[in-house]
Amino acid sequence: MNFLELLKKPNLIAAHRGDRSQKPENTLSALESSIGKCDFIEIDVQLTKDLVPVIIHDNTLGRTSNVSKIKKFEERTPWRVSDFTLEELQSLDFGSWFYHEYEPILTLKKALLFAKEKHLFLNVEIKDMSGAFADEIVVQIIIDMIKKTKTEHLILLSSFYHPYLPICKKHSPNIPTAALQMYKHPSDLIEYLHALQVDAYHPEDKITNQKTVASLRKAGFFVNVFTVNQTKRQKKLFDWGVNAIFTDFLV
């Protein structure tokens, strides 16, 4: 089964940043803890200064690492991910902000190999790195890693930064893509999504309504909604025809 075939199944649950209510988000432990509790796992990817794709949500390191406690990095505020090399990130702890255990930075390569070994589906969200790196470079590096690890069939690529999405399709037409959206739908939504050549639309829950879901589904787009933690709301969205919901709480 590939990711598009998975999306044809009803009422899918996606683990938002892994099992982030139990383990530090976007770490290997968070991925491990999601196994058996969801249909796919969402992770966020960014590039290091030396162009290595790593799994982290914020574009700065302060919230989810111990960088603020490390003397040699005190002059490096605001601790942007794109200003640190992989080796520097490997000297940090991505667990202690959450609990009393050390967790290393997770690389995309390691996440992909883990997904392959455990037969897990991954939604890789490409964070907006347009302020630091050229769009072509960002997409090329991520797709190259997916191809190198032979995990194309396990992956759905998404981004809030929509210019990445047609570039993904150009490099790898077989990997499904999704446009993420907050605050307001783009005007002429269906035509807009066709122009991006995406397979799915990922709106935030706040802007999701029954009419929009129906028209997207009728037009052939999968609809996956974030972040929906209330069971009652999840059920309503599934009743409307939503394919998947992203949640912080897995059962």
Token digits of residue 18: 């892994």
Q: Report, in Å, the least distance between residue 87 CB and ligand G3P.
A: 26
17: Cβ contacts below 8 Å, ≥ 6 apart: 25, 26, 30, 42, 43, 44, 57, 248
Site string for Mg ion, 32-71 (x = CB under 5 A): ------------x---------------------------
226 binds, among Mg ion, ligand G3P, none (CB under 5 to 8 A by kind): ligand G3P
Q: What is the 3-state secondary structure (H, E, C) of 118-136?
A: HCCCEEEEECCCCCCCCHH
The H-or-E segment that residue 43 falls in is strand 40-47
Nearest to 234, CA basis, from 10, 57, 56, 81 = 10
Position 164 contacts ligand G3P (CB under 6 A): no
Give the DSSP letter of residue 211.
H
The pair phi, psi for residue 172, each rounded to 5°, is -150, 80
Site string for ligand G3P, 46-75 (x = CB under 6 A): -----------x------------------
SS3 234: helix
Task: By CB under 6 A, name the one of 20, 162, 169, 202 that touches ligand G3P.
Answer: 202
Task: By CB under 6 A, name the one of 31, 55, 81, 180 that touches ligand G3P.
Answer: 180
Q: Report, in Å, the least distance between residue 17 CB and ligand G3P.
A: 7
The pair phi, psi for residue 46, each rounded to 5°, is -140, 165
Q: Report, in Å, the least distance between residue 206 CB and ligand G3P.
A: 12
- Comparing every residue's Cβ against ligand G3P, the nearest one is 226
Position 158 contacts ligand G3P (CB under 6 A): yes
Interface contacts to ligand G3P, rule CB under 6 A: 16, 42, 44, 57, 125, 158, 180, 202, 226, 246
